[in-house]
Structure 1
Amino acid sequence: MDFELSGEQQMLRDNIVRLMKDRYGFEARKGYQASPRGWSEALWREYADMGLLGAPFSEDDGGYGGGAVETMIVMEDFGKALALEPYLQTVVLCGALIKHGASPEKRAELIGKIAAGDLRLSFAHAERQSGYDLYDVALTARKDGTAFVLNGEKGLVGQGDSADALIVSARLSGGRRDRDGIGLFLVDANAPGVTRRGYPTQDGQRAAEIAFANVRVEPKDVFSEPGRALPVIERAVDETIAAVSAEAVGAMSEALTMTVEYMKTRKQFGVTIGSFQALQHRAADMTVALEQARSMMYLATMMAGEEDAKERAKAISAAKVQIGRSARFIGQQAVQIHGGIGMTYEYKVGHLLKRLTMIDAAYGDADLHVRKLAEQDSLFA
């Protein structure tokens, strides 16, 4: 199978590499993280000008005609730089909800704003009791004339404190854990009744707890068929897992590169530690783990657009297992080989481990996805 990038895709990668090198050094990242939003608004505008925010969307929807491969390219280099901007939430996750759940008119309206850098979105879905079960939704949506009224709370909303609008999952009917009865609603983040409490997460990014008290949503802001939004949510999450797999591969690649460079320069007992055979073997094991993860990243990218939900879920779970295991091994070994400096706030490798740990936990860790695969039919049936 040919994994070579096209000319346009290679140009996209070259441009991102150049931008990250020029504008996203580790010290610069600290400054972005300390800003009020926790990321760089100036860089967000540059992403828009470069076409990154519209890259994964079709031209009919106001994008630039790319897809999962373009998302992979962007996310891999964002992973190397530990980029903080809300690309994953706005472009990947909410973008997928819009692509698969919104009407053609709504898609063109929202994707056009996203591509221009004028709209930042977050998906308000997780709740305190839900864990990793996407169908566990207690926030209610009650019909009031032609509109809906939302009441309830959402947690761990990625970069929800700086979003302009929220895509909110809510239950229209049935029990809390029923697969049917879930809807998707677009809500202005500053609408009456919306209360947000933002906070930093362990990997240097931000999240929010959000409460909805009698928040009114008009029919034009209802996505998908009311009560049948779960397949849209599951598909969007599968596409997001494929994207964070690429981010993880980028972060693992950076951790390995930093570790090898450190082994070439750090001296112990009068010689560089890279001359120790035990550490050479450990670096070789890290390289193998990285290549295993990269292979599964390609699989996840290829399967992200698969229409068969069952086959897509199998491939995405398989990728999540390998990505999680490789991420833990490479991140931990990188810190171990660096020694004390690897654990300091001032050095990048510890931050890479934190982000890799959070990626492993996002949407279910490796152990959870092993169980999901065990519950499904064999991949080779």
Structure 2
Amino acid sequence: MSKRDYYEALGVSRDASERDIKKAYKRLAMKYHPDRNQGDKALEEKFKEAQEAYEVLTDPQKRAAYDQYGHAGVDPNRGGGHGAGHADFGDIFGDVFGDIFGGGRRQQSRARQGADLRYNLELSLEEAVRGKNVEIRIPTLVGCDECDGSGAKKGSSPTTCPTCHGQGQVQMRQGFFAVQQTCPTCSGRGKIISDPCRKCHGQGRVEKSKTLSVKVPAGVDTGDRIRLSGEGEAGELGGPAGDLYVQVHIKEHPIFVRDGNNLYCEVPISFTRAALGGEVHVPTLEGKVKLKISPETQTGRMFRLRGKGVKSVRNGAVGDLMCKVVVETPVNLNSKQKELLEELDKSMGTGDEAAKYRPKEKGFFDGVKKFFDDLTG
């Protein structure tokens, strides 16, 4: 079976640059690599074809020979002198895929950083606004003090893995191409512990709960995170520890609702206070303050108390307290009170006369009348 044209195999033009060839090969190899398509022989052949084309077209001498003589110019089994010799496809694999599959043969074994941890911290609104120091207790993995994190019994030390020679990876050849894999002997560590520590059983880490003091800055809100560097899990083989992220959650407050730096609350007032105006006391995080109610205030009106909100943890800006007035209808009236209300209602008259006292009511019913007139008209 004749071979496909190398340029066609990579999907590039005959005047493609070396950079374009490498990009095309990288894309195809990612798609057809055997590790991603195990057992699919057809895709494996496509990978081999792309790899062979790449090896030829990225070598200036081989590419020149191929452009002049075709496949015969780069066939090492032909005696015409145009062949470019045997290719080490392991080197090609390492060069192109080193950053994708772990660094190829050049990757050295290294200590592994420990995992990051998360702790959910629940605070009251007052605690979040003012800030505080809290102590938390977390279960984690810490470096073994018996072996100083090496995993080897005291007095001994890990030895270099004889399979990968400390590289942490081995190269598996299949025909004329090679694949980098994690060393099965040392699991990628590059070292072997023949005499493990009794306390940590060769892991270099042990489970332990530790108590930490966390400084919560004033103004934090739900969703904010406090990072404690190096307080996560201890690393493997003496590697650096991960970080601890304290996730803040603010508990629901019985009076205030927080939105960014602003606070919101509802203030119930009597209908007489709403009609005549006056002053009411409203709560803030610093204590009670007086709020002046304008005459003829309607329910739902919002009053702003500037600077009575939350101070931002980021830029120091202070929010406002937004007070929503809710007019409360009186209940449990006695007969005398009911008579007074009936007298008040009669004094306002009916029809157009009453409209000046209750303009919203008149506007609503006028709208209802027009709606039904339009339906029947």
TM-score of the two chains, using structure 1 as the length reference: 0.22
**Which is higher, the Rg of structure 1 or of structure 2?**
2
As a proportion of its length, which structure holds more strand? 2
Greater relative contact order, per chain length (Cα 8 Å cut-off, separation 6+) = 1
As a proportion of its length, which structure holds more helix? 1
TM-score of the two chains, using structure 2 as the length reference: 0.22
